[in-house]
Amino acid sequence: MSSKDKKGGANNTPQSEKGGAISKPQLSPEEVRKEHRRSPFNSRTLNQTLEQAAKTKPPRRLVGSLVHEAESTLLFGDQNTGKSLLAVNIAEAIATGQPLKAAEDITLENEAEAQKVCYFNFELSDHQMQRRYGLIGDAVQEDKPISLLSKQASDNIVNITVERGEDLPTNPREIFKCLADEARANDSKVMIIDNVSALDSDLEEAKKAAPFMQELQRLARDEAFTIIVIMHTPKIGKKALSSNDIAGSKKLSTFADAIVGIAEQNGQAENMAYIKQIKTRSSDKEYGRGNVLCTKIGKDEQGVLRHLIYATEGEDDVLDPAGAEGAKNRWETTKRAVLAYIDAGNYRQAAEATGLSKDKINRSVKKVRQTDPDLYEQLEAEARQAREQMPEDENLPF
């Protein structure tokens, strides 16, 4: 017998006792991956995926439907619209386990417990950050001692800046490894990055934006980091906000889990802005074009500078395309609504007297009360005076 015959034939194919080829046992897809190579994929049936999802809790809300846990959120807006201020307010809400402060009928709930927040501060100086907490600033200006009673910020907020003479990495993977390592060192799973241009000023090109956002998403998806990134925009003008207004490649908005925009209200007093929900993956869009959040930048009852969210309105109404004349007419409507409420004492009768909806009366009253208490007192006096001059059986003309 030849050596080939001893080895089972020229092709060395294993033979069964009956002379046929021995078939290999059928391997599962997972066993095939383990045998041949490490695969980056995870193959499951759709039903297996749905069953697994049913066993896990959905992402918790941290700022209502605007920000969810373990997701990436882009916060963008023009200069001087209060992006950093809003980010600090959000940091405070997450750090204290409290909802973001808003009017009574607006709920921006926080479903999580108080937790550490790493605020990567590439934008604000120490004194600018100090202005966010008014009582500390007032104490310094008046040469008063700063006691623990006057300290306004939560100790769960960690303000992180770049040391003098140090440079950040330029590769996206190295950048986010650096950020994540710092967050872990501070026992935090929440990062706020203010702002993205400090990490990479050239994200206009898709070839740079895509790996940047992919690495950001990897941290959110695989390591359960909550990441809020502040971004600038080119000059927006008086038009509806959209993801197209974000400076840089479209890839930035494509990969993000959520997008929130902020812009000035047109035809309104200084420091008036609105917040719009552009994109969300984990909830319904509550604050889109027909229901944006209206804010006034000012100090709250503790003297802390913040966005005071006072009402919701349609974006078209906030932008007021009719210009100055439209703003004048809108103010006259607001004044009518407030005067009617003061005179009637309830929303239903005020709505009947003016022909406006109860919702419009409610929004107008809350807007004036919260943004200009002195004006509300002035209107109260005006309504009393007008009532005194009218016969009791007649209604005021609204």
Q: Compute the distance between CA of residue 374 and CA of residue 369 in angstroms, rounded to an integer.
A: 8
Nearest-CA neighbor of 171 among 127, 135, 113, 215?
215
Quick one: how far is CA 46 from the chain centroid? 30
Cβ neighbours for 83, distance < 8 A, ≥ 6 positions apart: 75, 76, 77, 194, 195, 230, 262
The predicted pLDDT at position 20 comes to: 54
The predicted pLDDT at position 197 comes to: 82
What pLDDT tens digit does each residue of the chain (398 aa) get? 554 444 444 455 555 455 555 555 676 766 665 666 567 788 889 999 999 888 888 899 999 999 999 999 999 998 888 999 999 999 999 999 999 988 878 889 999 999 999 999 988 788 877 776 654 444 444 454 444 334 567 899 999 999 888 888 888 889 999 999 999 999 999 999 998 888 877 775 667 788 888 899 999 999 999 999 998 887 777 788 988 888 776 778 888 999 999 999 886 667 899 999 999 999 999 999 999 999 999 888 777 888 999 889 889 888 874 555 565 677 788 888 888 888 888 888 888 888 888 888 888 888 888 777 878 888 888 888 877 776 666 666 66
Q: Hunting for tokens 């990134």 — which residue is that? A: 229
Q: Compute the distance between CA of residue 277 and CA of residue 256 in angstroms, rounded to an integer.
A: 13
The predicted pLDDT at position 152 comes to: 63
The predicted pLDDT at position 396 comes to: 64
